[in-house]
Structure 1
Amino acid sequence: MSNPAISLYELNNLIKNVLDDSLPEMFWIRAETSDVRVNQNGHCYLEFIEKDINGRNLLAKARGMIWANTFFMLKAYFENATKQPFTSGIKVLVQVSVQFHELYGFSLTIHDIDPSYTLGDQALNRAAILKQLEEEGVLNLNKELELPVPTNRIAIISSPTAAGYEDFLDQLAGNVYGFIFYTKLFAAVMQGDRSEDSIISALERIYEYQDCFDAVVIIRGGGATSDLSSFDSYLLAASCAQFPLPIITGIGHERDDTVLDIVAHTRAKTPTAVAEFLIGNMAETALELDEIAQNIVMLTTQRLQDEAVQLSVFETKNSFVLKAWYKEQVATLSSTKDFLSRSLQRVKKEKQNRLTVYEDALIKKSQQSVKENLSKFELIESTLKRVTQQQFKDKNIQLNTYEKHLELASPENILKKGYTLTMQNGKVIKQSSSVNRGDEITTVFSDGRVDSVVK
């Protein structure tokens, strides 16, 4: 007995009819794109895949296609909404119809796409990365670093041919303050699948010379702003968050911040904005240094003025003390002189009295005795005169010494040494606050006077 059989075409046609009769006309499905390619006619061919929860094993796969006229509109709509290209490896929510052809088999034709699903998936991915970084305690590490003062030694991670890199250098070089910046480029691929590994490699090279730099700038200008998936990478974000130097980003996009922007020390929109931030930081530092310098000058000037006042007081006090001492010494010398004079007169008077007493006795003595006593008297008188003259001489020498000291401390002698005396209306000016703009003052030198007006 022979088994009934049908042809392969008949089987496929049967399957096609069953699918057409039993399935709805349209489905919304969630899937990941793979092997996306566009032919010369503008038709897009791709595969839809679904992986397990770990993202390792395929659970399902189906061929898909978008006709050229539909693909033209959907691609523009999707990329304008998500700011990223319609390419492989993204999760999408698409409206499809099921097709089964006797020759080409099962496929899905795409009619519509919902960009909000893809944006939601991206947001979930970024949120998951940020949560992981926070749980690891590294999310804000780079933000907690302090920018060195000044910040002018810059390591740059960028493509050497990027227009944004040239704009960044031109902005730094042309700053209106004339600040000098020292820059070193560490070239990297800034878009595409290789950008993540390339930027991390550049960071590793900078790490070897970290003492030579104040900060790291990651800039990306002149490229497609939609190709930013590598900046939402966990590995890149973790590397930047834990980097020992402050990282400043200028990736050049207006959409929500990437994970790299969030973990970086400072985020600017464009490379030019990064340059403006660095110039502004240097300007603030210069202003602070200028204020410090002014304070130093002010404090130094005040200290000099205080010291000058104290010196003037000291000189005045010493001059007063010296004059008083001089007067005291003169008075002492005068008193001594009077005392000596009175003592001499008293001695003379005593001698005269004694001579009177002895006169009668001496007359009675022999001539020789008279001569001997007379000689003794003359010797005594000569000795007394010599002693008295020596005392007068010593006192005069001491008095002359005092006079010379007083002369050295006199105002006239001080003026001869280069000092001046400033007077107003015949009175000595001791403080600068005593005069005002327009006052007439007189400056006394050792050899004359100069009149001037305070400006």
Structure 2
Amino acid sequence: MISALTLYELNNIVSEVISSVMSEEYWVEAEISELRVVHGHCYMELVQKAEDTKTPVARSSAKCWRTYWTLVRTAFERVTGRELCAGMKVMMRVHADFHEAYGFSWIVTDINPEYTLGDIARRRREIIAQLKEEGVLELQKELVLPLFTQRVAVISSDNAAGYDDFCNQLHGNDKGLAFSVKLFRAVMQGEATESSVIGALDAIYSQVDKFDVVVIIRGGGATSDLSGFDTLSLAENVANFPLPIIVGIGHNRDESVLDIVANQSVKTPTAAATFLVDRLSAVAARVDSVASYVSKYALDRIERENSRMKYLSTVLPSLYAAVKSREMSRITQLRDSLYVAVRQTTADAKAALDAMPMRLAGAVRQNLTAERHRLEMLGQRTAAVDPQRMLSRGYSITLHDGRAVTAASALREGDTLETLLADGRVISKVDRISKNKR
């Protein structure tokens, strides 16, 4: 009879083997595909992807117990300025653990933040290089903010303190400048950031004529998480957007790819509002300066024109008399010239009318002679083609159904023919048809 182990006994053997053979700790490089924190413990799924195809070639579970997780997370965020999240590459120190009930996993005791910083920098360089290759890295910088930038589309989470700070700073400005703000809600933290912000940009694009500028701000999310703003797809959408985009995502230590491609980058939502207020304030100051100049110029011009009018009022009477006398003389000359011209034109027209009867009579006689000659020629041509004349010369005409027969192929055996001669007609029937051979 075969002796079998229970699953618990087998797993216990595996646990003892792993504990004895793999008792050391190892530094391992991997990408976090999933991460969740439950009751202070961190549970991760690790993956390694092929460099060329990006398909997973290795997977494993990892756990960081609460006693380590608090220290590891705090140290990581202090150095990198970011939270650990899915999609991030890490170097962690682990040791093997096989539990009889829960299976195998790696137990994490430390994470090297310097490695992740290097990977983040490398990925950012790759994205920037790709944007340069596509020729879109500087497109936003080429856009010019309108002079009166007052219609603002804001991409932010709706319950964020940063959005409230932005609106308060914008609407409560001490210059009394007016702005209209419309919020386009988006997720500003975590894995959904990229797709959510792109969706908000698409919504703004569908009504792009209603806005002068787009402001992307973060407020209420973790200030250490910039991973959602370091993606190629989001950077391409921002770079190609037709309106200038101002980015203020609340990070003082580092800049994201979004900061690099945007038209303007500031550190906080309040700074974004201050930028818009200061810019419109400068425009208002220019308008006030121009208005003052125009007012002064108008007053000076009015004064000059008043002086000129006074001068003209003194010289106009004498000028009017001189002009009147000159124009009256010119009108008299024009009247005399017109009288002479009318008399001459009338005489010429009368002479032409007197000569017209003789010219008409000659033309009529000439036309009658030409038409008479043409009729005689037509009569001669008609007589020359008269069928009776042809018959009198010995020719005959054969008819079939009242039409002249010109080809044997138009006849059939048994057809009745009528032959016209000079002195009469002959009726016959077709007995046989023979065609000439060429």
The TM-score range, normalised by the shorter chain, is 0.5 to 0.7
TM-superposed CA distance for 1:254, in Å, is 1.4
Query: Which residue number in structure 2 is paired with residue 233 of structure 1?
Result: 231
Residue 115 (structure 2) pairs with residue 117 (structure 1): yes
- Does structure 2 retain, via aligned residues, the 8 Å contact 1:28–1:94? yes
Q: Tell me the TM-score normalized by structure 2.
A: 0.65
- SS of the counterpart of 2:142? coil
Query: Which residue number in structure 1 is paired with residue 42 of structure 2?
Result: 44
Query: Which residue number in structure 2 is paired with residue 248 of structure 1?
Result: 246
Query: Which residue number in structure 2 is paired with residue 64 of structure 1?
Result: 62
Distance 1:310 1:43 in 2: 92
Superposition pairs of residues 95-110 of structure 1, within 5 angstroms? 95-99=93-97, 106-110=104-108
TM-superposed CA distance for 1:94, in Å, is 1.2
Query: Which residue number in structure 1 is paired with residue 410 of structure 2?
Result: none
Superposition pairs of residues 183-194 of structure 1, within 5 angstroms? 183-194=181-192
CA-to-aligned-CA distance 1:233-275 (integer Å, 9 cap, x gap): 2111111111111111121221311111111111122211111
RMSD, aligned CA: 3.2
Query: Which residue number in structure 1 is paired with residue 395 of structure 2?
Result: none
CA-to-aligned-CA distance 1:122-179 (integer Å, 9 cap, x gap): 1111111111111111111112111112111111212222122122222222111111
Query: Which residue number in structure 2 is paired with residue 126 of structure 1?
Result: 124
User: Aligned to 2:72, which of 61, 71, 74?
Assistant: 74
Distance 1:73 1:110 in 2: 12
Residue 21 (structure 2) pairs with residue 30 (structure 1): no
Q: What amino acid is the match of 1:46?
A: M
Distance 2:138 2:276 in 1: 21
In structure 2, the CA distance between the partners of 1:201 and 1:12, relative to structure 1 (3 Å rule), is: same
Distance 1:213 1:39 in 2: 44
CA-to-aligned-CA distance 1:177-210 (integer Å, 9 cap, x gap): 1111112222222222222222211211211211
Percentage of pairs with the same residue: 45
- Does structure 1 retain, via aligned residues, the 8 Å contact 2:15–2:97? no
Q: Unaligned regions of 5+ residues in structure 1, if any? A: 326-455
Superposition pairs of residues 261-410 of structure 1, within 5 angstroms? 261-308=259-306, 310=308
Distance 1:131 1:69 in 2: 41
Deviates more, 1:105-114 or 1:124-133: 105-114
Q: What amino acid is the match of 1:285?
A: V
Q: What amino acid is the match of 1:83?
A: G
In structure 2, the CA distance between the partners of 1:305 and 1:98, relative to structure 1 (3 Å rule), is: same
- SS of the counterpart of 2:140? coil
Query: Which residue number in structure 2 is paired with residue 147 of structure 1?
Result: 145
Distance 2:101 2:298 in 1: 97
TM-superposed CA distance for 1:15, in Å, is 9.0
Distance 1:221 1:156 in 2: 12
- Does structure 2 retain, via aligned residues, the 8 Å contact 1:16–1:102? no
Query: Which residue number in structure 1 is paired with residue 161 of structure 2?
Result: 163
Distance 1:95 1:286 in 2: 60
User: Aligned to 1:137, which of 135, 138, 160?
Assistant: 135
- SS of the counterpart of 1:254? coil
Distance 1:299 1:239 in 2: 48
Question: How many correspondences in the alignment?
Answer: 319
CA-to-aligned-CA distance 1:342-392 (integer Å, 9 cap, x gap): xxxxxxxxxxxxxxxxxxxxxxxxxxxxxxxxxxxxxxxxxxxxxxxxxxx
In structure 2, the CA distance between the partners of 1:81 and 1:3, relative to structure 1 (3 Å rule), is: same
Distance 1:18 1:211 in 2: 66
In structure 2, the CA distance between the partners of 1:106 and 1:163, relative to structure 1 (3 Å rule), is: closer
CA-to-aligned-CA distance 1:101-136 (integer Å, 9 cap, x gap): 677665433222110111111111111111111111
In structure 2, the CA distance between the partners of 1:106 and 1:248, relative to structure 1 (3 Å rule), is: same
Q: What amino acid is the match of 2:263?
A: H
- Does structure 2 retain, via aligned residues, the 8 Å contact 1:29–1:96? yes
Distance 1:14 1:111 in 2: 22
User: Aligned to 1:208, which of 191, 206, 209?
Assistant: 206
Query: Which residue number in structure 2 is paired with residue 176 of structure 1?
Result: 174
Distance 2:73 2:163 in 1: 30
